[in-house]
Chain A
Amino acid sequence: MTESSTSTRHEGHARHDRHAIALMGNPNTGKSSLFNALTGARQKIANFPGVTVEAKIGTTRFENSELTIIDLPGTYSLAARSPDERVATDALLGRIDGTPKPDGVVIVLDASSLDRNLYIGTQVLEFGLPAVVALTMLDVAESRGIKIDTEKLARTLGVPVVVVNAPKGVGIEELKSTLHRTLHHPGKRLELSYPDDFKRGVDTLHAELCDLGVKLGFTPTRPEALRLLVDGAGPFFDECEEVGGEEWTRKFFEIRDRAAAGRSLSMLEAQTRYGAIGHWMREVKQAEAREGRTRTDVVDGILTHKLWGSLVFIVVMGLIFQSIYSWSGPLMDAIDGGFGALGDWVGGMMGEGALKSLVVDGVIAGVGGVLIFLPQILILFLFIAILEDLGYMSRAAFLMDRLMSRFGLSGKAFIPLLSSFACNIPGIMGARVIEDRNTRLTTIFLAPFMSCSARLPVYTLFIAAFVPQMKLLGFLELQGVVLFAMYWVGVLFAIPTALVLKKGILKSKVTPFLLELPSYKMPRPRAVGRVLWERGGSFVRRAGTIILAVSVLVWAAGYFPRSAELDERYDAEIAAAEGAFSEVVVSFDPEADSESTLAQFKAIDDAHEERTSELEGEETEVETATAESDKQREAEIAELATKHPAAFTDYENWQKLEEQRSEIENRRAGEHLENSILGRMGHVIEPAVEPLGWDWRIGMAAIASFPAREVIVATLGTIFNLGGDQDEESQTLREVVQNATRPDGSKLFSLATGLSIMVFFALCAQCAATLAVMRRETNSWKWPIASFLYMTTLAYLAALVTFQVAHALGA
């Protein structure tokens, strides 16, 4: 039946011999490594609209034909309770736009648990597509005393069987040639012996579905009628109900009741399939009764042991968290520093103006803002890929399920949520290990509640500025306690959110936690590397563009409109300041005039600066080293000054002028910002943020930090005329924040304001990257928008309560 379709469908292409092949089978069967062995690097991720799972598409060649391989998500059955589970059937039948209709299918079967693997095998074979069985893990099976007669298996199933070992490259060519042959001589449809009344029910329903076909937009097949009859629910059922109306639903349940005749149809299906499988296996499989434990049993005896298992788990989780949280630091600093230097370098070659600002502050800073997340993403996925490959991920879920199920989640949600404390983005991406759609969506929604490291600068600044240094109960540092509390704010709000989500919109009647604990395998470096490459690339390509766009947009809002009058006023002020100094002082440029005597003075100061800026260690040591360096500087300057007394005076004047210039420039930047769209937005929202204890400046900084939370620190630096290069540990910014006043002269910030800002930033969704990744992982804008609105509302209300209560208490 498919022989003709292969040649007609690809008309218009020069090659007449092109085929699409679907790869199907259980999870943990070696399906992905087979796909990789077949397609090598020639693969891309297929986008399936409306679902959160993905498939990969790759190509391979055999003689002069080209095979497009579609690697469908691993699944135990074609029964579809959610849109995600429906994908396999839809893809198999070529009903997904942009994904070719398969001309044949490779059913991947794990020889070490062949019975269970054959369950979906029988389901797929009922579709009657040309099929080849790829039998994997034969070595594992043999080590357990299981012998499979592959010839008998092929005869029984009526399709060719090829033994493959993808990591070793065994059977790949044979699989291709067998596929090639099979596509031209399709096998026959598998017929299982269901009871007659059930078969009649399937036929009747199939006829009804065909009548509905016009409205559905496709002609349903008989195996789909069987699925629908048994499942009696799911996305396909909803679709039929929608186009068929009540009349159809009534008829459907009439047919179903008649076919069931009081039996459970699921039970009937399972018994028929496993009955046939059991029958075949008596011919095909020889299992030596082997006493003794397998290697996996022995390892599991430790890794899921009450004491040892829990200990290993804690160590592994600690390692993951520690690595994302702190080991990524140097890499992130390098990226940050690299893009800062790039910005300076490019900026140095461009004239002042909007274009320079766009390139440096918009584009380069934006690209840097995307790449800065890569180290954390790659480190997390390094662990996830190794643990997944090893088989430990399902054990971790086994250990944590009890705890997580209390919040309506599953054990698999633990690692994504833990990672979210370091950075929400890898956390959200890590949620893909959760098979159940609703649990996955809940986990993705909860991830931004975990206090990530980008919130830390906000906490650091305001805690240092407003929380007094004192001890609670004699040993607890109050500042530390507040910081600790900030980390719990998110968790505190995440728990009820999880419960509401799982009881409300993401309710599934039950989310069965049936989890296969696969046998342990050695992680394969190439497979791990591939995961890293895919995840990193997917983040940069798909989320990166959105993040970059948002960065540029916010840059523009903070830059425009640019008042020429304002610039003239400040230019005049600078000119006035320069008027007080001689020409030599005004025009001195340390880089251009590096040969001059003035530059020699500057070099001494630079050297001193360099010696002292990187000092670390004990406070007293730092002080001593600083004093020493200072002494050295004094001596060098004095020596040079005796030689060139006039130049020394010029140098001192130049320093004064530089100070004045930078003070004027900072004021200019501040006023530009106040004038900009962003500044005006700050004024507009001032009445709304007033009850939080904020003024327009803080409101504006909060808006400006939409691309990333930590931006608030730099924005506050600019608006308080310190320039944009402030960081959270800057002494001056801390002092300025402590001393900032409102127009009436009262203090702008207090402990209450500080707490309200921290609570707001703990709960808000101010991170374009998180929202972009959420969009990418859920394949819909619905989730990031819902997340942003929900979290912003929550953050606002919590900050409101925090400020009002703290204020009333006199903080």
Chain B
Amino acid sequence: MSSQTLDKLPVGASGTVLDVAGEPALQQRLLEMGVLPGVEIKVVRFAPLGDPMEIKVMGYSLSLRKAEAAHVTVERA
């Protein structure tokens, strides 16, 4: 299985988070919201203008910008 950043995942793809990086405030926010290594996530959709994206994580829907998702590495299921 290949690992790639979250923003590159297509709609409907799911996987397990491998790493969360980024500037400290962003990294901390992502982690707090439940995007942390070992957690399963799924890409639900992209906004009509192409950004941001919506993911399912820990049973809820989270919207984040692609630039932010680029700091999340995912192992695709």
A and B: bona fide binding partners: yes
Given known A-B contacts A304-B54, A402-B49, A79 and B28 have beta carbons under 8 A apart: yes
| Chain B residues, CB < 8 A from A510 | 22-23, 25-26, 68
Interface mask (B1-35 → A, CB under 8 Å = 1, otherwise 0): 00000000000000000001011111111111110
Question: A274 CA to B68 CA in the complex, in Å?
Answer: 21
| Chain B residues, CB < 8 A from A401 | 47, 49, 51-52, 63, 65
Given known A-B contacts A232-B24, A512-B29, A115 and B58 have beta carbons under 8 A apart: yes
**B65, A310: Cβ atoms under 8 Å?**
no
**A270, B36: Cβ atoms under 8 Å?**
yes
Question: A403 CA to B39 CA in the complex, in Å?
Answer: 31
> Size class of B's contact patch?
35 or more
Contact of B36 among A113, A271, A304, A517 (CB under 8 A): A271
| Chain A residues, CB < 8 A from B34 | 115-116, 119, 274
| Chain A residues, CB < 8 A from B51 | 401-402, 405
Contact of A514 among B29, B36, B39, B59 (CB under 8 A): B29
Given known A-B contacts A267-B36, A270-B32, A304-B54, A398 and B47 have beta carbons under 8 A apart: yes
| Chain B residues, CB < 8 A from A296 | 61
Within 8 A of B (CB), among A140-186: 144, 146
**B63, A394: Cβ atoms under 8 Å?**
yes
**B50, A81: Cβ atoms under 8 Å?**
no
Question: A565 CA to B36 CA in the complex, in Å?
Answer: 82
Question: A515 CA to B51 CA in the complex, in Å?
Answer: 13
**A264, B32: Cβ atoms under 8 Å?**
no
**B64, A517: Cβ atoms under 8 Å?**
no
Interface-centre pick from A233, A264, A287, A399 (highest chain B CB count, 10 A): A264
Chain A: which residue is nearest B56 at the CB level?
Answer: A297
Given known A-B contacts A266-B24, A271-B37, A512-B25, A116 and B61 have beta carbons under 8 A apart: no
| Chain A residues, CB < 8 A from B23 | 509-510
Chain A: which residue is nearest B32 at the CB level?
Answer: A77
Interface mask (A61-99 → B, CB under 8 Å = 1, otherwise 0): 000000000000000110101000000000000000000
**A517, B24: Cβ atoms under 8 Å?**
no
| Chain A residues, CB < 8 A from B50 | 402
Interface mask (A383-405 → B, CB under 8 Å = 1, otherwise 0): 00000000000100111011101
Question: A116 CA to B62 CA in the complex, in Å?
Answer: 11
Interface mask (A491-509 → B, CB under 8 Å = 1, otherwise 0): 0000000000000000011
Contact of B25 among A81, A115, A394 (CB under 8 A): A81
| Chain A residues, CB < 8 A from B52 | 398, 401-402, 411, 513, 515
Indicate whether A112 reaches chain B with its CB closer than 8 angstroms: yes
**B65, A304: Cβ atoms under 8 Å?**
no
Chain B: which residue is nearest A287 at the CB level?
Answer: B59
Indicate whether A724 reaches chain B with its CB closer than 8 angstroms: no
Chain A: which residue is nearest B46 at the CB level?
Answer: A306
Nearest CB in chain B: distance from A75 CB, A: 10
**A231, B28: Cβ atoms under 8 Å?**
yes
Given known A-B contacts A270-B36, A402-B50, A513 and B58 have beta carbons under 8 A apart: no
**A116, B63: Cβ atoms under 8 Å?**
no
| Chain B residues, CB < 8 A from A399 | 47-49
| Chain B residues, CB < 8 A from A304 | 45, 47-48, 54
**A398, B24: Cβ atoms under 8 Å?**
no
Nearest CB in chain B: distance from A306 CB, A: 4
**A512, B47: Cβ atoms under 8 Å?**
no
Indicate whether A729 reaches chain B with its CB closer than 8 angstroms: no
Question: A397 CA to B47 CA in the complex, in Å?
Answer: 10
| Chain A residues, CB < 8 A from B60 | 112-113, 116, 516-518
Question: A296 CA to B56 CA in the complex, in Å?
Answer: 12
Indicate whether A309 reaches chain B with its CB closer than 8 angstroms: yes
| Chain A residues, CB < 8 A from B44 | 300
Question: A514 CA to B23 CA in the complex, in Å?
Answer: 14
Given known A-B contacts A266-B24, A399-B48, A401-B65, A512 and B58 have beta carbons under 8 A apart: no
**A274, B48: Cβ atoms under 8 Å?**
no
**B20, A517: Cβ atoms under 8 Å?**
no
**B25, A513: Cβ atoms under 8 Å?**
no
Question: A287 CA to B32 CA in the complex, in Å?
Answer: 22
Interface-centre pick from B20, B37, B58 (highest chain A CB count, 10 A): B58
| Chain B residues, CB < 8 A from A233 | 24-25
| Chain B residues, CB < 8 A from A307 | 48
Question: A560 CA to B67 CA in the complex, in Å?
Answer: 61
Interface-centre pick from A231, A513, A518 (highest chain B CB count, 10 A): A513
**A266, B27: Cβ atoms under 8 Å?**
yes
Nearest CB in chain B: distance from A3 CB, A: 32
Nearest CB in chain B: distance from A534 CB, A: 28
| Chain B residues, CB < 8 A from A397 | 63
| Chain B residues, CB < 8 A from A509 | 23, 25
| 16 CB-based A-B contacts, threshold 8 Å | A77-B32, A112-B59, A113-B58, A115-B58, A233-B25, A274-B34, A304-B48, A310-B48, A401-B65, A402-B47, A403-B49, A405-B51, A514-B68, A515-B52, A516-B33, A516-B61
A-side interface residues toward B, CB under 8 Å?
76-77, 79, 81, 112-113, 115-116, 119, 144, 146, 230-233, 264, 266-267, 269-271, 274, 287, 296, 300, 304-307, 309-310, 394, 397-399, 401-403, 405, 411, 508-510, 512-518
Question: Knowing that A514-B29, A514-B64 are A-B contacts, what are 8 other residue pairs whose CB atoms are under 8 Å apart, sorted by A's residue number?
Answer: A116-B33, A116-B60, A267-B20, A267-B37, A274-B36, A512-B64, A512-B68, A516-B63
